Amino acid sequence: MRGFKSLARPASRALSSRSKQFTPAVTHSVRHASTSKHPQGFEAPTPADLTELRERVQEFTRREIPEELAAHTDKSNAFPNEMWPKLGEAGFLGMTADEAYGGLVMGYQAHCVVMEEMSRASGSIGLSYAAHSQLCVNQISLNGTAAQKQKYLPGLVAGTTVGALAMSESGAGSDVVSMRTTAKPVDGGHLLNGTKMWITNGPDADVIVVYAKTEPEKGSKGITAFLVDTKSDGFSCARKLDKMGMRGSNTGELAFSDVFVPSENILGQVNGGVRVLMEGLDLERLVLSAGPLGIMQAALDVALPFTHQRKQFGSPIAHNQFVQGKLADMYTKMQASKAYTYNTARAVDEEGIIKTQDCAGAILYAAERATECTLDCIQLLGGMGYVEEMPASRLLRE
């Protein structure tokens, strides 16, 4: 197996042991190998692999993302940037990337497991994690040339550089293909002009996947994806946004003023950006749907012990059927959401089937259930649900 047993070890040693054969505890029926959405040599993980991975991520989050850090990240609205190399060293930044660039080649179920556990510890850190490892790293893995991968992936996977993806604009959100950022051809490349809004990791990023109109009159057929180095002249992060939730997942408004992007930094084909964008969105929604799963588990992590310890009328409040009913609803909503996300991810890993409606459905369903579960968590905690000493309000905002 692609030795995630080495996840807790330094990247250099982890890499050298990744080729070692892993003997799973459980034997399963035939698993299909690589699809166009996985690197060469990919084999879908077994349930035992995923369980072991989950335990590794939990060890990491217990050690590196305790509640105090999650609360501080929320309060300070600042990402703990020292986290990036730690995530890289653990192997989590290249879940779907090729071994040649330091990746673990473990596919989308595994990526969902890491995203879920990361978000259980801190939704904000989870969101920034996914913007880096899925929106940026995976887009480069799937669409990059060998030279682009060699240039960008090792640093991104090691966590020594930070990645982001910029499609949305203040006037182009749901209707993203109405974007107005332009890329004008010039000698040796393109000049980018425009702004991008709500870009996760935008204030910290070293490299950003940016979509721009190369031929505006062609509408969706005139969009191209570019890899933009943020050190380029003319690039700036105009401001960092002050959000309701996911605080500390740094979100920015970006400005491009005659930013020169060399031709070798075109990701995919000129005017082929909408395919890169739309196919990427399916997998982005799928992996991001694991965020609300982690937040639901976090709500249960808070509500279960609290309702068993808190006594009113002489007994723990959890002894009341109404309270038990709320806990049962929270658990059931979480499990139903998990089933949807992981079934959709399994179809990608094992059969190469990506259903757009299920990638969107999984995140829609999980996000709405997570909002309900976190509201229930606040209610179950009574007055303690309303004060910042407990994480309940942070979970709702996330």
200 binds ligand FAD, rule: CB under 6 A: yes
Give the closest residue to 374 by CA, choosing from 310, 308, 309, 299.
299
Binding mask 3-42 for ligand FAD (x = CB under 6 A): ----------------------------------------
Q: In this chain, which stretch among 75-83, 163-171, 226-234, 344-352 interacts with ligand FAD, using CB under 6 A?
A: 163-171
- What amino acid is encoded at 58 in this protein? Q
Other C-beta atoms lying within 10 Å of the C-beta of residue 376? 24
In the chain, the amino acid numbered 364 is L
Q: Which is nearer to ligand FAD, 200 or 341 (CB)?
A: 200
Q: Which of 169, 279, 284, 350 is catalytic?
A: 284
Q: Which residue is nearest to ligand FAD (CB)?
A: 173
Name residue, tokens 């913007």: 131
Q: Three-state DSSP class for 251?
A: strand
How many residues of this chain bind ligand FAD (CB under 6 A)?
15
The CB-of-47 to ligand FAD minimum distance in angstroms stands at 31
Q: Rg of the chain's alpha carbons, rounded to an integer?
A: 21
Query: What is the closest distance, in whole angstroms, from the C-beta atom of residue 98 to ligand FAD in the complex?
Result: 23
Which residue, 172, 87, 193, 80, is CA-closest to 134? 87
Residue from 11, 110, 130, 199 that binds ligand FAD (CB under 6 A)? 199
| Alpha-carbon span 150 to 152, nearest angstrom | 6
Q: Quote the CA–CA distance of 304 and 320 in Å, as a whole number.
A: 13
Number of Cβ within 10 Å of residue 384's Cβ equals: 14
Nearer Cβ to ligand FAD (281/348): 281
Closer CB to ligand FAD, 115 or 199, in the complex: 199
Q: State yes or no: residue 173 binds ligand FAD (CB under 6 A).
A: yes
How far are the Cα atoms of 70, 285, 321 from residue 135, in angstroms, in the given order? 22, 10, 43
Q: Which of 57, 158, 165, 210 binds ligand FAD (CB under 6 A)?
A: 165
137 or 165: CB nearest ligand FAD: 165
Q: Nearer Cβ to ligand FAD, position 119 or 200?
A: 200
Interacting residue with ligand FAD among 58, 77, 148, 168 (CB under 6 A): 168
Tell me the residue type at 277. Answer: L
**Which residues have C-beta within 8 Å of that of residue 157, sequence separation ≥ 6?**
88, 93, 94, 97, 101, 102, 103, 137
Which range of residues in 144-152, 159-167, 216-224, 289-297 is near ligand FAD by CB under 6 A? 159-167
- The answer to whether 131 contacts ligand FAD (rule: CB under 6 A) is yes
Question: Angle, nearest 10°, between helix axes 47-64 and 83-90?
Answer: 150
Asked if 207 is part of the footprint of ligand FAD (rule: CB under 6 A), the reply reads no
Give pairs for 386-395: CB < 8 Å, separation 24+.
388/71, 388/75, 390/302, 390/306, 391/67, 391/70, 391/71, 391/298, 391/302, 392/299, 392/302, 394/70, 394/71, 394/74, 394/123, 394/245, 395/123, 395/295, 395/298, 395/299, 395/302
Closest to ligand FAD by CB, 198 vs 331, is 198
State yes or no: residue 167 binds ligand FAD (CB under 6 A).
Answer: yes
| Catalytic residue status for 284 | yes
CB under 6 A: which stretch of 31-39, 105-113, 164-172, 359-367 binds ligand FAD?
A: 164-172
Of 66-74, 148-156, 197-205, 291-299, the segment contacting ligand FAD by CB under 6 A is: 197-205
Please count the residues of the chain. 398
What is d(CA 236, CA 231) in angstroms, rounded to the nearest whole number?
A: 9
Closest approach, Cβ 131 to ligand FAD, in A, equals 5
Looking at residues 238 to 257 of the shown chain, list those that interact with ligand FAD (rule: CB under 6 A): 243, 246, 251
Q: How far apart are CA 322 and CA 328, in angstroms?
A: 10
Minimum gap (Å) between residue 259 Cβ and ligand FAD: 17
18 versus 369: smaller Cβ distance to ligand FAD = 369
Does residue 166 interact with ligand FAD by CB under 6 A? yes
**Residues labelled catalytic:** 284
Residues in the site for ligand FAD, rule: CB under 6 A? 131, 135, 164-168, 173-174, 198-200, 243, 246, 251
